[in-house]
Amino acid sequence: MGYPHKPHPRETVVLSKYFGDADARTYKGWVKRGGYEMLAQALTMEPAKVIDIVKESGLRGRGGAGFPTGLKWSFMPKEKKKPHYLCVNADESEPGTFKDREIMRWTPHALLEGSAIAAHAIQAEVVYIYIRGEFTEPWTYMERALAEASAAKVFGAIKIYLHRGAGAYICGEETALMNSIEGKRGNPRIKPPFPAAAGVFGMPTTINNVETLAAIPPILKQGAAWYKGLSLSSPKSSGTKLFSVCGHVQKPGNYEVTMGFPLKDLVYELCGGMRSGRTLKACIPGGSSVPILNREETESCLLDYEGVVERGSMLGSGGVIVFDDSADMVYQIMRLARFYAHESCAQCTQCREGTAWTTKILERILAGQGKMADLDLLLDLSENMTGKTICVLSDSCAAPVVSGIKRFKNEFEDYIAGRRKPVMVA
């Protein structure tokens, strides 16, 4: 969507209230809008009290894993024996997802305020905001906002630093992110130990996503009960979510709706539906690492953690990728496999070999040299790539492959049987 953006009447505007408002990203503008009041208040509260409020709110991680935020914070040692750290995951690289970018370039102070409150709650002296290297524009606005807010001394004793990534999707994985900050290759670590026990520099650490932290000031301001109440269906999912809708819709962009919102309405109503003459064929509801839904599943899917699982996928990052009937599902699944093959850190054999092999098989199929046995081979590979590696990049490659073969088998068979012309050269 273009800016200035007028929210759709069915959106519930909390995080995106000031998207498109250039004044809001200045320190003065943010303060004028009530900014940093909650931080000032939080700094006078007991850290445990802040954690309780966030626990009560039901806020779950918005990066993709959906782990209860208050619970994650409570894993940090109550007794302060070592330096504590907060790492902010601004590595947003999940295909289909582009919400954190908007938060950083339009409401950088919301992220800074939420981060500082979180740091206070987990007794962290230092915050590292890990921003992917390609986000040059968000970096500029974050840098500016950080300088202004620091000059106004709103953060108390908390030190906030920006740390620039250099091109690695895997650094969005929390342990790889910590390794990257430490100046290492972005290889994920085996867990346990968990970050709260031994994280960045071996110290107790919490890692939170940008959108998660941006929700903290509103939760403190309007209360946990308010946030919990912003849910259409399940009490297990509260609040709003920024859904990044892209692909074959009339009006792609970020849309903020309450948990439990029907995916059908998001696509057909808020996003203006399909392009002229087209019908919806497939939809990935939560970023490319979750299973692909077919049309029936898409049109009956409710957007909360349980609702999407019920349809056979996951809410994930909320990156909604819409494919209409013009899309070549085999080609796009190949392209996703290639993404994972490029991004594999190469530690685990199943991932390093599996993502590359999966890509090769799909390329062969698209080049007209596929065999029916290839589909069984892909499923076999995917099974070995799931649940058996240090991190879930491997599983993430398997998700579109397995769900794609299950729901769009005919498209694979068309290439293999020669009913469809090859689109690649072997």
Q: List residues near another protein by CB under 8 A.
A: 1, 83, 92-98, 100-101, 126, 132-137, 159, 161, 163-169, 180-186, 201, 244-248, 252-254, 288, 319, 321, 323, 327, 331-332, 335-336, 339, 342-343, 345
Indicate the residue type of 121. Answer: A
The amino acid sitting at 90 is: A
Which of 326/349 has CB closer to another protein?
326
Least CB distance to another protein at residue 403 (A)? 14
- Residue 342 or 409: the one with the smaller Cβ distance to another protein is 342
Q: Where are the alpha helices (DSSP H) in 13-107?
A: 27-32, 37-42, 47-57, 69-74, 100-106
* Closest distance of CB 361 from another protein, Å: 18
Cβ 319 to another protein shortest distance, Å: 7
Of 322 and 378, the one with the shorter C-beta distance to another protein is: 322
Least separation in angstroms between CB 288 and another protein: 6
Q: Which is nearer to another protein, 130 or 305 (CB)?
A: 130
Nearer to another protein, 57 or 97 (CB): 97
Within 8 A by CB and 6+ apart from 244, the residues are 96, 97, 98, 99, 253, 254, 317, 318, 319, 320
DSSP 109-132: HHHHHHHHHHHHHTT-SEEEEEE-
For the CB of residue 212, give the shortest distance to another protein in the complex, in Å.
Answer: 17
- In whole angstroms, what is the distance from residue 167 CA to residue 185 CA? 11
- Closer residue to another protein (CB): 54 or 329: 329
Q: Which is nearer to another protein, 31 or 424 (CB)?
A: 424
Of 54 and 213, the one with the shorter C-beta distance to another protein is 213
- Rank residues 76 and 345 by Cβ distance to another protein and give the closer one: 345
At 103, list the tokens.
């938060």
To the nearest whole angstrom, how small is the minimum distance from the Cβ of residue 224 to another protein? 31
Please compute, for residue 412, the number of CA atoms within 13 A of its CA located in the half-sphere on the CB side.
Answer: 24
> Among residues 10, 20, 7, which one has the least CA distance to residue 266?
10
The phi-psi region of residue 239 (left if phi > 0; otherwise alpha if psi is between -120 and 50; otherwise beta) is left
**In the complex, what is the shortest distance from the CB of residue 23 to another protein, in angstroms, rounded to a whole number?**
22
Nearer to another protein, 59 or 345 (CB): 345
For 86, the enclosing helix (H) or strand (E) is strand 85-90
Closest to 135 (Cα-Cα) out of 186, 90, 96 = 90
To which H or E segment does residue 323 belong?
strand 319-324
The contacts of residue 414 (CB under 8 Å, 6+ apart) are: 420
Minimum CB–partner distance for residue 200 and another protein (Å):
9
Extended beta strands in 149-297, E state: 159-164, 205-209, 240-247, 253-258, 261-262, 280-284, 293-294
What 3-state DSSP class applies to 403? helix
- Taking the complex as a whole, how short is the minimal distance between the CB of residue 270 and another protein, in angstroms? 12
Q: What are phi and psi of 245, to 5 degrees?
A: -100, 130
Closest contact distance (angstroms) between CB of 97 and another protein is 7
How far is residue 188 CA from its own chain's centroid? 17
- Measured from the CB atom, the residue of 323 and 415 that comes closer to another protein is 323
Instruction: Look at the block and give the residue holding tokens 């992110």.
Output: 177
Cα dist from 216 to 144, 232, 257, 348, whole Å: 21, 20, 17, 36
CB 39, min distance to another protein, A = 21
Ramachandran class of 379: left when φ > 0, alpha when ψ lies in -120 to 50, beta otherwise: alpha
Residue 241, classed as helix, strand or coil, is: strand
